[in-house]
Amino acid sequence: MKDFGVFRALHGVSFEVEEGEVFGLVGPNGAGKTTTFRILAGLLPPTSGEVRVLGASPGDLRIRRYVSYLPEDAGTYRNITGYEFLEMIAKIYYGKDGEEALELGLKIAGLGSAAYEKMKTYSKGMKRRIQVARALMVKPRVAILDEPTSGLDVLQAREVREIVRRYARELGTTVLISSHNMGEIEATCDTVALIHRGRIITRGRLAELLSSYGARNLEELFISLVGEVA
Amino acid sequence: MNLQAVKVLALKEFRDLIRDPRIFIPFVLSAVIMPVIGIAISTAMQAAITQAVRVQTVAVADLDRTTLSRELVRWLSSKGFTVIEVSGGTLEELSQRAAESGASALLVIKPGFAEALEQGRKPSLDLVQILRDSPLFSLQGLGLADSVREFAARKLLEGKVSYDLVRDPVAVNSTIYMAAKGLLLTRPELLTGLSMAAMLIPLILLSIALVVMQMAATSVAVENEERTLETLLTLPISSYDVLLSKLLGMFAVSMLGTAFQVVGMFAYFYLILTVSFAFTREPGQALNIELMAAPTDITVIALSLLISLFFAAAVGMVIGVLSKDVRVANTLVGPLSMLFYIPALFILFAPSSALGKAAIAVLYTLPVTQPIVAARDMISARLPSEMPVYLVAALALTILIVYAASKLFSLETIATLQYRISSFIARRGALVAKSRKT
């Protein structure tokens, strides 16, 4: 559970994600997705209950190296270049041996010569790509991506989705994605949890959930479940 | 502490700030504004002095028309005044005529002037200063009254005793012995120059500290506003290292900016101090700063200044942590800058004797007040023997602030505090709007 003063943001959120899975947390705006992910990233403590990430408390300095978090709408530093930003991350994680991570980051970002320009000149899509690259270049065991395609147009969103799917598979990273875009979760995730008003209303493997509720897609499933809950 | 990470993050901060030309605007502006103010003030002062010492045109209305009153008119001419005689009408009409004739003052010698002097009584005259522009630096009539007084005194004393003896009957050689320094100042007016030198340091400190504080607050508030803070807080480094690296990177930039300001400030004081009448220089014992402060003292003050600026940056950073955006940070910096203003003014104007030992120890320990009180004592007294301890204490206090800020630097605490501060500002704004309506 998570309370902010008198407001209860999360009522009872419980789920497990297996190693190597691509897990989607889906729900409308204000359902509690960001709060859940912030708790998993160690940015917020839960008011009650227990959360374990890689067997440790979230935010523990020992596991931070293995957990990447991409906040929703994460901005960039205006006056440093994409290359310098990725180089900084590589050095923080690997010190002088960060060359390989930097190369991977540049490859994931795919910005070409634009990587050497100040990030204030980047489009929203480019900023998002650099942030996704930042999150994946350190080969995390767990990547927590909060609304990774939020605010992007259709083409940019598709590009980012493909980057996440491809590199998660290549790097063997466990990925947690949140989105209010049901189609995006369907296209990206193996397992899903549906969250509404701070509660997980169902969870499981995507195909199994759809067949057990007789829904054609996540949207139908969500609407039928929310109707039941309401 | 992860030194490698601190170094890398500090470099990021340095680059991000130094490549933004807007960051230097306040530094450059104050560097340029100070000499401009200096030029403006010194020009006005010079003009006032020139006007005061040049031959003045005075209008005289001799209503007494006696030998003595005529003698007074000639006396004024011999003293360098250009005398224009006016006559007839009320004081207002006489003043108008005097103004039209271009005089800077009107002297009305009333009937009975000669009679009073002959009988040993105090004669009565009217002196009207004619004001044509700003009363500031206006010195019309300066010296005219003194000349009239001298004339009357000479007449009253004629044949009895020398006027010069009465005016200055005892030769007093005034000197000042600065006990703490074992220094004899044969020209007490030198203290004016020394006091100005003592004020230089607090003034520089105040103006720079505020800019540094503003820069630190903005830098951290931007991390909040741009949502880059969340990323930083999930990197494999402690929040203390994150804050320390921000502080170091930002401090390096502010030191570069400070160089501009110091140059501007020195230019300002140079312009002010070179105005001829500001203070008198005397060969061998002029405003020789080395006479008043040993090189070690100046090094100590410089160290203290650095710590103080670092402290200002740390305070700014705490403000930034508590601000969800740049607007809130700017709102908070104003009132909190009083932290620097009030103690500085207090130290400048409160005599040391009014402060107890405990209060002096506190002033020497707080990074906000340390360089100000130390600068004052360096000039007028002596730095305390415990100064190294005070320097370490001030540094420790600054590090403590950074440590405390790092404890605040969790999203949970920040979100709660930011919510409270924003609500407070919103409530205050609503109250102000309501009171304006009513």
Quote the ipTM score.
0.89
Which one, of A130, A166, A172, lies nearest residue A148 by Cα? A130
Per-residue confidence band for B411, with pLDDT thresholds at 50, 70 and 90: low
- The pLDDT of residue B278 is 40
Per-residue confidence band for B195, with pLDDT thresholds at 50, 70 and 90: low
User: Looking at the predicted structure, is the pLDDT value of residue B75 above 70?
Assistant: yes
- The pLDDT of residue B373 is 84
Chain B contact for A98 (CB, 8 A cutoff): no
Contacts of B147 (CB under 8 A, 6+ apart): B75, B76, B79, B81
Model confidence pTM above 0.80: no
Query: Amino acid identity, residue B394?
Result: A
Question: Which tokens sit at B430?
Answer: 């609503």
- The pLDDT of residue B28 is 77
Is B109 in a helix, a strand, or coil? strand
Size of interface A-B (CB pairs under 8 A): 82
Is B22 in a helix, a strand, or coil? helix
**What is the distance of C-alpha B57 from the center of its chain?**
36
Compute the radius of gyration of chain B from its Cα atoms: 31
Over residues B290-341, the pLDDT tens digits come to: 555 677 887 888 888 888 888 888 888 888 887 777 888 888 888 887 777 7
**CATH number of the domain residue A213 falls in:** 3.40.50.300
Q: Does residue A181 fall inside a structural domain?
A: yes
Contact B231/A69, CB-based, under 8 Å?
yes
Q: Does residue A120 fall inside a structural domain?
A: no
Over residues B88-139, the pLDDT tens digits come to: 889 999 999 998 998 888 999 999 999 998 888 889 899 998 887 655 555 5
Query: Amino acid identity, residue B363?
Result: L
Chain A residues whose CB is inside 8 A of the B226 CB are 75-77
Mean pLDDT for chain B? 78
Per CATH, is B57-138 categorized as 3.30.2350.10? no
User: Looking at the predicted structure, is the pLDDT value of residue B201 above 70?
Assistant: no
User: Where in the sequence of chain B do the CATH 3.40.1710.10 domains occur?
Assistant: 57-138
- The Cα B358–Cα B157 span in angstroms is 58
Q: Does residue A106 fall inside a structural domain?
A: no
Residue B85 main-chain phi, psi, to 5 deg = -90, 135
Residue B382 main-chain phi, psi, to 5 deg = -150, 145
- The Cα A92–Cα B3 span in angstroms is 10
Task: Output the CA–CA distances (angstroms, integers) from residue B211 to B29, B32, B100, B313, in the order listed.
Answer: 11, 15, 51, 9
CA distance B415 to chain A (A): 10
**What average pLDDT does range B159-166 have in this prediction?**
85
- The pLDDT of residue B73 is 93
Per-residue confidence band for B70, with pLDDT thresholds at 50, 70 and 90: very high
CA distance B379 to chain A (A): 44
Phi-psi group of A114: left, alpha or beta (phi > 0 → left; psi -120 to 50 → alpha; rest → beta): alpha
**Which pairs from A152-161 meet CB under 8 Å and 24+ separation?**
A152/A124, A152/A125, A152/A128, A153/A125, A156/A123, A156/A124, A156/A125, A156/A128, A157/A181, A157/A184, A159/A125, A159/A129, A160/A125, A160/A128, A160/A129, A160/A132, A161/A187, A161/A188
Chain A residues whose CB is inside 8 A of the B233 CB are 43
Q: Does residue A176 fall inside a structural domain?
A: yes
- The Cα A164–Cα A147 span in angstroms is 12
Q: Which of A92-101, B82-91, B166-175, B408-417 has the lowest mean pLDDT?
A: B408-417
CB atoms within 10 A of CB B138: 17
- The pLDDT of residue B353 is 66
Chain A residues whose CB is inside 8 A of the B231 CB are 69-71, 74, 131, 134
- What percent of chain B shows pLDDT beyond 90? 14
Per-residue confidence band for B200, with pLDDT thresholds at 50, 70 and 90: low
**What average pLDDT does range B199-214 have in this prediction?**
74
- The pLDDT of residue B287 is 45
Number of domains in chain A: 1
Ranges under pLDDT 70 in chain A: 228-230
Chain A residue closest in CA terms to B19: A79
Contacts of B57 (CB under 8 A, 6+ apart): B81, B82, B84, B101, B102, B103, B104
Q: Does residue A30 fall inside a structural domain?
A: yes
Beta pairing partners, A176: A23, A144
Over residues B8-61, the pLDDT tens digits come to: 999 998 998 888 877 777 777 777 776 777 777 777 767 766 666 555 789 999
A187 is in which domain, residue-wise? Answer: 2-74+140-229
